[in-house]
Amino acid sequence: MTITDMTIQELASALRKGDLSSYEITSTFLNNIERLEPSVGAYITVTKDDALSMAEEADMSFREGDDPGLLAGIPMALKDNIATSGIRTTNASRMLENFVPAYDAYVTTCLRKNGAVFLGKANMDEFSMGDSTEASAFHVTHNPYDASRVPGGSSGGSAAAVAAGEAVYALGTDTGGSICQPAAFCGLVGMRPTYGLVSRRGITAYASSFDQAGPITRTVRDNAAVLDAIAVRDPKDGMASRFAPVPDGGYVGATENAFGNPVIGYVEEFSKGLNPSVRGALEHALQFYESTGARVVSLSFPHLEEALAAYYLLTSAEGYSAINRYDGVHYGYRAADAETVDDIYMLSRSDALGLEVKCRVLLGSYLLSKEHYDAYYEKAARIRTLVIQAFNTLFNACDAILAPVTTGPAPLLGTRNSESLNGQYSSDRFTVLAPLAGLPALAFPYGLTQEGLPIGLQLMGPRFSEGRLYMLATAYEDAHERLPRPRLLHELRNGNNHECP
């Protein structure tokens, strides 16, 4: 087993036994980044010197008998919308290309306290508005399992870095599937926590009533370990929950809970339009849970199609409000040829914002106008309430819902813009549901298609049921072989390095 194959728990054990140093581990991942980045493009900024310095600090702590926590000395990546003091935070936008915050996001502070080593900032769709990481202002990120395909988005760089062996784990953010979808496309575990469980402070807002940060990892137990570190109540985040119950032994402890006889719901409407590989994966997983003592119940989810439309209406409206702060005056890009204040506003935004952001901002402006607010935004808000009520009813009948993450495996690069608007966004119909209701969703790998592409499934549960979701996913993970590493890593080990087109 190589260093890049080891889990957080395995690396933590080796560090405490003195079998490995953080400097050695971090150097290995930095070497992988140097060799693989031309093929993957997972990072916007690589912080080599900072990473090695943090690794040396972790090694010194171990030598002195200090133990900051399970994540100490282990290298990771942060999505580039998470503020990092002294490290460029671009949001994959020319608008913030040179922005270096003087503060950390709260989750960044939590990771520092746990001794994490920061390898760099991961690529993303600009301002998190996208689902393929093709909407970055810097470069496209490639899926490590097939470089001709997308890694998902908007946290595609975070997922690609972990899948390619360029980070042990990563943080992403999720507004409507931006953790779960790339995790599924890259054969990883991704947790979108309950809204309010993880602080949003210091994370660039896309849609503030939806946004949540969460971990992307290779295993369920690793994922739980990272959530233990970042699910710390922030008194300065007004939406942080004061009443989030923490499982005995933390989330890592929850992975070891007895399986018992849970009730798992299956929504019949979710089968519509699925790729045969995804449908087969869902059926097999349901059979597995039944065979281990779970009771599977068939359910119906009303308003499924309306929920997708409501999500895009609400997030575009909130995104419009969020992007308004970038005006070329206070900070960020300013058009050089602007002569008036109005010119600064218009030219700076025209020059520095990408097409996807402009489209969503224009839609949001339209929705919030006096003429259209009642017809669109108000109706979307009502549908959101209906989605919440539907979940409340479903969770009276089951403990968790097993669902697809997407309708199929990762699509080819460049195909998204050739689809109709309905086709572009319809693949998100399973991942927007939990965010609309503020619920947790855990994506985990099922297996590979015949073409070698990962397929992921997701478990959704009531508010603050992360521990139960981890327990259910661990049961599946322990009974199945871990997915093979991507072809890129095998080529790296054989000395074959190449650049993607």
Please list the active-site residues.
Answer: 79, 154, 178
Length of the chain as a residue count:
501
> Cβ neighbours of residue 14 under 8 Å, at least 6 residues apart?
6, 20
Residue 293: both structure tokens together: 């003592």
Which residue stretches of 41-179 are H helix? Answer: 48-63, 106-113, 156-163
Name 497's bridge partners: none
Strand ranges across the sheet with 169-174: 43-46, 117-122, 75-79, 169-174, 212-217, 189-192, 441-448, 454-460, 400-404, 263-267, 295-299
Nearest to 405 by CA among 247, 187, 259: 187
DSSP 402-436: EEESSSSSPPBTT-GGGS-HHHHHHTTTTTSHHHH
3-class SS of residue 118: strand
CA distance 256 to 475: 9
Question: Does residue 126 come out as left (phi exceeding 0), alpha (psi in the -120 to 50 range) or beta?
Answer: beta
Cis peptide before 128 (omega within 30 of 0): no
Residue 418: both structure tokens together: 């050739």
* Beta-strand pair 75-79/169-174: parallel
User: What does residue 332 show for φ and ψ, rounded to 5 degrees?
Assistant: 90, -170
Nearest to 37 by CA among 492, 493, 427, 494: 492
